[in-house]
């Protein structure tokens, strides 16, 4: 079923956004995209103030596109800004499969990313502190937080991400236990961030990490519901 630009659906999806904020400073972060169509979307839970007429990047799963900010609404509550965006010409619609599936009344086909097995572990949009170091020990450790994580890997926001195939060591904590695993950079988006796959994490630890992330995510959702 062909999706027309005017067809909008009420599905809400987590996206990454980046560009220049209203003060002219570069930013990258996360938001919720809703009221989706082939022409644009409405963003909520935006942490930065946006400016009408500016161009920003939006990514959903592996699809990225450039959008123009049509309207922007600031909120007194932190992380609650909103905006309406319109896709620029000759750009792919990042959520095209989602909207087409909703309009057709059928579930969207899952997108595969380096094999279907990785989808065994749902990704969680949480701030998860960790340390990235290097096997040669010649470079300084990176103290950072993953913004998207599962038992198989994580995504770290960075203006200067590491190159694809870079071998790293990732260290983090599950409750009081320190976990250290090898990893490799699988995705590198300049000005946005990088995706790291855990390559030496035992299956038992993967499952424990996944359960731990789910507990954190549920705690955030509960807190957000109480404050809204």
Average pLDDT estimate for 159-165: 88
Is 111 contained in some domain?
A: no
- Res. 139: pLDDT tops 80: yes
Is 159 contained in some domain?
A: yes
Is 6 contained in some domain?
A: no
Residues 86 and 139 in one domain: no
CATH number of the domain within which 136 lies = 2.40.10.220
pLDDT at 125: 77
pLDDT at 171: 95
Residues 147 and 95 in one domain: no
Using the 3D structure, point to which of 104, 124, 139 is the last residue of a domain: 104
Is 73 contained in some domain?
A: yes
Which among 16, 20, 14 has a CA at the least distance from the CA of 52? Answer: 20
Among 10-24, 33-47, 160-174, 195-209, name the one with the lowest average pLDDT.
10-24
Residues 222 and 133 in one domain: yes
111 compared with 71, residue with greater pLDDT: 71
Residues 47 and 89 in one domain: yes
- Summarize pLDDT for 88-133 with one digit per residue, the tens: 998 999 998 887 766 555 544 444 444 444 445 777 777 889 999 9
Is 4 contained in some domain?
A: no
Is 1 contained in some domain?
A: no
- Reported pTM: 0.52
Using the 3D structure, point to which of 42, 75, 104 is the last residue of a domain: 104
Residues 81 and 159 in one domain: no
Is 85 contained in some domain?
A: yes
Residues 146 and 201 in one domain: yes
CA distance 148 to 129: 11
**What's the domain count of the chain?**
2
Residues 166 and 201 in one domain: yes
Domain region containing 86:
13-104
Is 19 contained in some domain?
A: yes
């Amino acid at each position: 079923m062909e999706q027309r630009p005017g067809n909008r659906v009420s599905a809400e999806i987590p996206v990454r956004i980046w560009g220049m904020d209203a003060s002219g400073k570069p930013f990258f972060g996360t938001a919720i995209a809703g009221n989706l169509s082939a022409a644009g979307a409405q963003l909520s839970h935006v942490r930065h103030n946006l400016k009408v007429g500016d161009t920003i990047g939006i990514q959903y799963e592996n699809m990225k596109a450039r959008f123009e900010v049509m309207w922007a609404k600031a909120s007194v509550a932190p992380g609650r800004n909103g905006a309406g965006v319109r896709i620029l010409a000759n750009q792919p619609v990042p959520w095209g499969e989602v909207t087409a599936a909703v309009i057709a009344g059928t579930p969207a086909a899952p997108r595969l990313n380096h094999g279907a097995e990785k989808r065994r572990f749902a990704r969680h949009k949480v701030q998860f502190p960790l340390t990235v170091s290097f096997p040669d020990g010649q470079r300084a450790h990176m103290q950072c937080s993953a913004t998207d994580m599962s038992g198989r890997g994580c995504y770290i926001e960075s203006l200067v991400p590491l190159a694809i195939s870079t071998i790293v060591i990732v260290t983090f904590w599950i409750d009081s236990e320190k976990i250290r695993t090898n990893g490799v950079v699988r995705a590198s988006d300049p000005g946005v961030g990088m995706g790291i796959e855990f390559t030496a994490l035992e299956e038992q630890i993967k499952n424990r990490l996944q359960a731990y992330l789910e507990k954190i995510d549920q705690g955030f959702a509960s807190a957000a519901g109480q404050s809204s």
